[in-house]
Amino acid sequence: MIKPPQVYQSHSRNQQTLFFLQRPFVHGTSQHQQLPKQVLQSWSKRNKQLFLITCNAQASHTPSPATTAAATESNKTNSYNVKAIVKVKVATSGFFSSLRLNRGIDDITDLLGKSLLLELVSSEIDSNTGLEKETIKAYAHKAGQEEETVMYETDFKVPIDFGCIGAILVENEHHKEMFLETIVLKGFQKVTIKFDCCSWVHSKFDNPTKRVFFTNKCYLPSDTPSGLRRIRKEELENLRGNGEGERKSFERIYDYDIYNDYGDPDKNLKLGRPPLGGPEYPYPRRCRTGRPRCPADSYSEKRTRGFYVPRDECFSEVKQLTFSTKTLHSVLQVLIPSLATVIKDKDLGFQYFHAIDSLFSIGLDLPPDEIEEGFLRAIMPRLVKNIADSGGHVLRFETPEAMNRDRFFWFRDEEFARQTVAGLNPYSIRLVTEWPLKSKLDPEIYGPVESAITSEIINREIGGIVTVEKAVEQKKLFILDYHDLLLPFVNTVRQLKGTTLYGSRTLFFLTPDGTLRPLAIELTRPKDLETGKEQWKQVFSPSWHSTSVWLWRIAKAHVLAHDSGYHQLVSHWLRTHSVTEPYVIATNRQLSIVHPIYKLLHPHFRYTMEINALAREALINAGGTIESAFSPGKYSMLLSSAAYDLEWRFDNQALPADLISRGMAVEDPSAPHGLRLTIEDYPFANDGLILWDNIKQWVTDYVNHYYPKRKTVESDEELQAWWTEIRTVGHADKKDEPWWPVLKIPEDLIEILTIIIWVTSGHHAAVNFGQYTYGGYFPNRPTIARTNMPTEDPSEEEWKAFLRKPERALLNCFPSQLQATRVMAVLDILSTHSPDEEYIGEKMEPSWANDPVIRAAFERFSGRMKQLEGIIDERNEDTNLKNRNGAGVVPYELLKPFSKPGVTGMGVPCSISI
C-alpha cells in the first residue's frame, strides 16, 4: 500500500470547514446504496444551503489590508501558493455514465469538495531527520466540465524548503473509478509541473491503496531521488500482488498463469482441452486471473464472462466503440449465431464458384436483430447493409483488394508462389540446403523418412535450366515445409468430422527474373498403428493434362490450408500475441514507471493483453473460430504448442537472424543492412530490414543516453530482474535454453529491446493487416481442407465422380458456407485500423519530449519512418521488381508505417492492438 510514513495535516482552511457538514450515513458502509432517492435529494438540497451559508460566512470575514499584506509577505518568504488542476476524462455516453456511478452520492461528494484527495510528495528527505518529508494534502473540488473532461482544482501551500515535487498520491473519494488524464501544478518555484497520468484510479471503497503518479522524468534505480525510493519500490510490489485470490476488474495486478482457460468442460466435456504450459505442452505464460477451477475438470480454470486484464491494459472507449473491438465482439457473439440460423446445414459447401462471388455482390439475408433494431448495421456498416425494400439487413462483403485487381488472381500458380514472399505469411519460405529431402521423425511410428519428391521429378520440371543438384548448390530451390510439424497430428485430426490433414512439402524454383515457380507438392499420410494402414504419399506437379491439372489445384488447396493454419496459429498468434504477453507482465512487475526502459516499451504493449484475453474468450477457445474453421480443428492450440517447442527461440525473432536461419539471407558486411538476400526481390525482407534498422537505431540512441557507462546495465537491479523473469517465468518452459541472450552491456540490451519492439510492430503488422486482402476471397487461402485427395484410396465411384466433375471436388474440399463466411467476417475486423491507432514513430511520449537528447533522437526516428513510406512507394512503382509490381498485382504496403482508419492493407501500429 502506498502510504505516507507519518501523519499529515491539510493546508486548506475552507476544506476543513466543510468536514463538519452533517451526513446521514458514513462513507464506506452499504447503507448509502439503500437510501431512497427522495432522502438523497433532500439531503443534497440541505447541504447546498449549508455550503452557501458557510461560503458567505467566510466571505464576510474579509481581512484588513494590513493583514492581507502581512499574509502575502509571509507567503513570499515561507511558502509557495500552488494550484493543482486535475483533468478527468468523461465517459463517451455522458459524465461517468459508462462507469455506472451512483451520481446521487458522488454528486454530493463533488459538492463537498472532496472528490479527490491529493498528496504532494517531495523527492528529497529531511536533512535533519533522514526521513521522508511530510506530504502536503488537499481535497480537490469540481471546478468545471467540458464535453469530454471534468476539471477538479485545489490549492496547496508548499513550504519553500519542501524540495522538488517528485510524485503525487491520489485517493478517489467517489464510489467508482475515474480516468485521470493529467494533473498540473502551477506556481511551484515559478514552474509548471505536469503529471501525465492516463490511468484509471480505483475508488477508495474498493481498495484503500492510494495511487501514485510520478513526474514526467526517468530515473534508473540507482539515480532515484531519496524521497521517492520507498514509493517506487512499493508501487512495484502492489503491481505484483500476492498471487492469491480472484482478480477484480478494477485491479492493476500483473501475474502469470498457464493456458488452462481456453477449454470449457463445465459447458460440455467435449470442450475440455489440456492446459498449455509445462513439460508436456510447452507454452508462454498468460496473465493470471485467479478464477476457481472447473468442477468437471480440476486442471481447467472456470470461464466467467469477461476475462480479467489489469485495468490500464483495457481498451479505451474510442477503441471499444469502433470496428476493431466492439465489432469483433459483435461478429463473434451476434453475427455468427445469426449466420447459423441462415445457413442451417453447417456442412453445406458452395455448389458453384458464382455462389462464392455472390457474397460480394448479393450477400446473405440476415434475420432481424435479436438485440435491438439496426444493431448490426450500426456497428458493422462495412459488412451489414440495409435492404431498401424489406427494411431488413444483408451481410455483403467488401471485395478484397487482390480480387478487385484481378478476379482470377487466386487461380494462378505465379501468384501462389509470389505470396510466399509478398503475401500474408512471408515467414515460412526457406532455402533447400540438403538433397534428397528427408523427415526427422521416427520411421517406426510415421513410416519411411525419404521424400517422394525425387531428383527425376524436379529435373523434369527444371531440366532445361539446371539440375536439381546445381539448383541446391546455387541456392535456387526453396520450400514450404509443413511435413514434420503436421504429420504427428494427421491421424488424430482425421478422426474429426468434416476435415482432413496431410504432412506437406511444396518446392519452388527461383527463376532468372527473380520470381518463384512452383515445382511440386508432396502430401503424406503417416502409417496408422491402430488400423494397420501403411504410409501414403504422392507428388503432384503442374501439368498440361486435365486430370493432373485438377489434382494439382486440389493439392494447392491443401497446402494453402496448411499455410493458413500455420500462419494464424504460429506466425501470427504464437510469435506475436502469445510470446509478447510475458514481456508485458514482466515490464509492469519489475520496471518502475519512471524507469527509462519502461517508458520505451510502454507504447509497444498498448491493448495487447486485452486483445489476447478476447482471443482466449472467443477465437482460440474450444469451439471458437479457429477450431471451427481451420484444419487442425480441436488440436489447433496443441499444434501451436508443438511449434513453440520445436521452432521458437527468442534470438531468432530478430528479423536478420530469422532470415539467416531460413537460408533467406547470409551475412555480408558490404551489403545493405549487413545482409545479402538469397531472393533479391523479397518485399517483406526488403522493407522489413529498413524498418528493423530504423528501430534499432532509435533504441541505440535511447539506450546509450541512459546507460553511458557499460557497467550500469549489469548493475541495474530492476532491469536484471525484468530479463530474468521473462526468461524463467514468462517463458518458463524455455528457461534452460542456451540461446537466450545475456544482459550485461548496452549492446545486449539494444538487441533484446529491438527484438521485442520489432515483434510488436513490424512482425505483427506484416502478418495481420493483410488478412482480408489475401484471405477475404477464401479460395486464395482456404483455412481448412475438408476432403482427401481424389487419388488417396478412392472407390471406383468416387474416382468417376471426380473425372466427371472435377470442379465439384475442389469446391467440396474448400470450407463450408458457414466456415467461410464466419472467417471472412472475422478477417475483415482483424484487418481494421482503429481511429485511435498509434503508429510507430508517430507519437512522442511526454518523458521523451522533456529530454532534448531523446526528443531529437525520436524526431530523427520519426523522419526515417516517413522516408520509409516514400521508399516503399518507389519500390512498388519499379517494374523490375516483379514480386511487387505487375498486372493485377497488389503492391506490397504492409510495412508502410502510417495508415488512415479502416481496412487499408498498410500501417504499422506500435503495438499488437488487434
562 classed as catalytic? no
354 classed as catalytic? no
Residue 15, pLDDT > 80, answer: no
Residue 279, pLDDT > 50, answer: yes
Residue 62, pLDDT > 60, answer: no
* Confidence band of 317 (pLDDT split at 50, 70, 90): low
**Nearest to residue 270, comparing CAs of 638, 623, 616, 621?**
623
Strand, helix or coil at 240?
A: helix
768 classed as catalytic? yes
Catalytic residue among 572, 595, 602, 833: 572
* Confidence band of 219 (pLDDT split at 50, 70, 90): very high
* Confidence band of 813 (pLDDT split at 50, 70, 90): very high
Record the pTM.
Answer: 0.89
Catalytic residue among 577, 595, 604, 673: 577
Residue 312, pLDDT > 50, answer: yes
Residue-wise over 155-176: b if at least 16 C-beta within 10 A, else e? ebbbeeebbbbbbbbbbbbbbb
pLDDT attached to residue 238: 95
Three cell numbers, residue 641: 504448442
The identity of residue 815, as a single letter, is P
pLDDT attached to residue 331: 74
**What does the pLDDT average to over 184-202?**
91
Percent residues over pLDDT 90 in the chain? 76
**What does the pLDDT average to over 375-384?**
75
Residue 488, pLDDT > 70, answer: yes
pLDDT attached to residue 367: 79
320-345 confidence digits (pLDDT tens): 545 455 567 667 777 777 788 888 88
822-853 confidence digits (pLDDT tens): 999 999 989 999 888 999 999 999 999 999 99
- CA distances from residue 448 to 216, 451, 524, 535, 734 in whole angstroms, order as listed: 64, 8, 11, 8, 31
569-582 confidence digits (pLDDT tens): 999 999 999 999 99
507-530 confidence digits (pLDDT tens): 999 999 999 999 999 999 999 988
- CA distances from residue 731 to 244, 505, 649, 761 in whole angstroms, order as listed: 21, 30, 10, 20
CB 137 within 8 A of CB 122: no
Higher local confidence (pLDDT), 422 or 54? 422
The identity of residue 647, as a single letter, is E
Residue-by-residue DSSP string for 783-843: S---S--TTSS--HHHHHHHHH-HHHHHHHHSPPHHHHHHHHHHHHHHTEEPTT--BTTT-
pLDDT attached to residue 391: 58
pLDDT attached to residue 583: 98
Element (H, E) at 539: strand 536-540
pLDDT attached to residue 382: 82
Average of per-residue pLDDT values in the chain: 88
Residue 70, pLDDT > 70, answer: no
- Cβ atoms < 10 Å from Cβ of 900: 10
pLDDT attached to residue 65: 41
**Distance, CA of 216 to CA of 185 (rounded, Å):** 13
Residue 600, pLDDT > 70, answer: yes
Higher local confidence (pLDDT), 652 or 66? 652
Q: Around 907, how many Cα atoms within 13 Å sit in the side-chain half-sphere?
A: 24
Residue 699, pLDDT > 70, answer: yes
Q: Which residues pair with 364 in a beta bridge?
A: 395
* Confidence band of 19 (pLDDT split at 50, 70, 90): very low
**What does the pLDDT average to over 402-425?**
97
Catalytic residue among 585, 726, 854, 914: 914
pLDDT attached to residue 228: 97
Catalytic residue among 764, 780, 812, 872: 764
Residue 775, pLDDT > 90, answer: yes
577 classed as catalytic? yes
CA 48 to chain CA centroid, Å, is 48
* Confidence band of 146 (pLDDT split at 50, 70, 90): confident
Catalytic residue among 47, 621, 686, 768: 768
DSSP 731: T
Q: For the ranges 278-292, 360-374, 885-899, which has the lowest average pLDDT? A: 360-374
